[in-house]
Amino acid sequence: MNIHKTAIIEDGAIIADDVTIGPFTIIGPNVTIGKGTTIASHTLIEGYTTIGENNQIFSHAVLGTIPQDLKYNGEETYLKIGDNNTIREHTFINTGTAGGGYNTIIGDGNLIMGHVHMGHDCIIGNNIVIANSTVLAGHVEIANNAVIGGISAVHQFCKVGEYAMLGGGSIVVQDIPPYCICEGNRASLRGLNINGLRRNFKNREDISEIKKAYKHLFESGNALQESAKELINNSKNKNVKNLAQFVLDTKRGIPFTRK
């Protein structure tokens, strides 16, 4: 291990042999850090926090502190971070709560930029970009390959679907469907994330089917739930079914304007 002499590693912490820890960093007694991870100076990692392999954690990040939730009563709750994540300066991530399943979870390969706050019980998938100064309230879920623009805020219990893109400075109070672009205060649908789909989908037929499904759901003027059921029953495309199922499952609603 390459641990700076001014770092404080409390008894009980489990740290892989090749982890690098910078000056004035504090690691709590219930923290586990996997191999290849680097932690810069002036970072605080505490609570029941598990960090996987090959993560880069930059200076002044604060990970694993107790939830900012008045219902929290000292329970043993957790922060679980996967592999190959980049967590930039001044990022602040809390553990979970009893009411949210006890866990805040971050997957693999994510870029979490500076000054991001991620509240209790958030579930973040893989290969997601969360840009600077974004705040996620408790219980937010973000699916794989989404992009969250900077200086945005996401209301508690909202969900963002896979390959969705949220424009910078947005305020999200409803669920953002997969493959879509949303922006504004309050954020609403602006269309499909075509550039993101073209970068990630080799089969252009999939993109064509998603376009048809988007029009059927959000531009036809028909009842949203009924349109979603029709797509699930009639389409064989897994991406279309994914989009339609998201619409059926939403608890906070979809922010679209009928034409």
CA distance 68 to 197: 36
Handedness of CA 246, 252, 253, 257 (dihedral sign): negative
- Residue 120's pLDDT band, with cuts at 50, 70 and 90, is very high
Residue from 182, 168, 95, 183 nearest 129 by CA: 168
* pLDDT cut 70: percent of the chain above it: 99
Query: What's the pLDDT tens digit per position in 127-140?
Result: 999 999 999 999 99
Under 8 Å between Cβ of 248 and 217:
no
For 109, which DSSP code?
S
Ramachandran class of 6: left when φ > 0, alpha when ψ lies in -120 to 50, beta otherwise: alpha
- Residue 75's pLDDT band, with cuts at 50, 70 and 90, is very high
Angle at 124 between CA 183 and CA 252, to 5 degrees: 50
Ramachandran class of 172: left when φ > 0, alpha when ψ lies in -120 to 50, beta otherwise: beta
- pLDDT of 258 reads 62
- pLDDT of 259 reads 55
Q: What is the mean pLDDT of the chain?
A: 96
pLDDT (mean) for 190-201: 94
CA distance 97 to 167: 29
pLDDT (mean) for 215-239: 94
- pLDDT of 200 reads 92
Q: For residue 115, is pLDDT > 70?
A: yes
pLDDT (mean) for 103-110: 98
CA distance 193 to 216: 17
Annotate 138-159 with b (16+ C-beta within 10 A) or e (fewer). Answer: bbbbbbbbbbbbbebbbbbbbb
Q: For residue 26, is pLDDT > 90?
A: yes
- pLDDT of 131 reads 98
- pLDDT of 248 reads 97
Ramachandran class of 199: left when φ > 0, alpha when ψ lies in -120 to 50, beta otherwise: alpha
- pLDDT of 27 reads 98
Query: What's the pLDDT tens digit per position in 31-69?
Result: 999 999 999 999 999 999 999 999 999 999 999 999 999
- Residue 256's pLDDT band, with cuts at 50, 70 and 90, is confident
Query: What's the pLDDT tens digit per position in 153-192?
Result: 999 999 999 999 999 999 999 999 999 999 999 999 999 9
For 185, which DSSP code?
B
> Going by CATH, does the domain composed of 2-139 fall within 2.160.10.10?
yes
Catalytic residues: 120-121, 138
Question: Of 8-17, 167-176, 214-223, where does mean pLDDT reach its minimum?
Answer: 214-223
Q: For residue 152, is pLDDT > 60?
A: yes
The identity of residue 134, as a single letter, is T
Show me where the domains of the chain are located.
2-139, 197-249
> How many other C-beta atoms lie within 10 A of the C-beta of residue 243?
27
CA 61 to chain centroid: 17
Q: Write phi, then psi, for 70 (nearest 5 degrees).
A: -65, -20
- pLDDT of 252 reads 96
**Model pTM?**
0.95
pLDDT (mean) for 84-89: 98
> How many other C-beta atoms lie within 10 A of the C-beta of residue 7?
17
Q: What is the CA radius of gyration of the chain?
A: 20
**What architecture (CATH level 2) is domain 197-249?**
Up-down Bundle (1.20)
Pairing verdict, β 20-21 and 103-106: unpaired
Q: For residue 257, is pLDDT > 80?
A: no
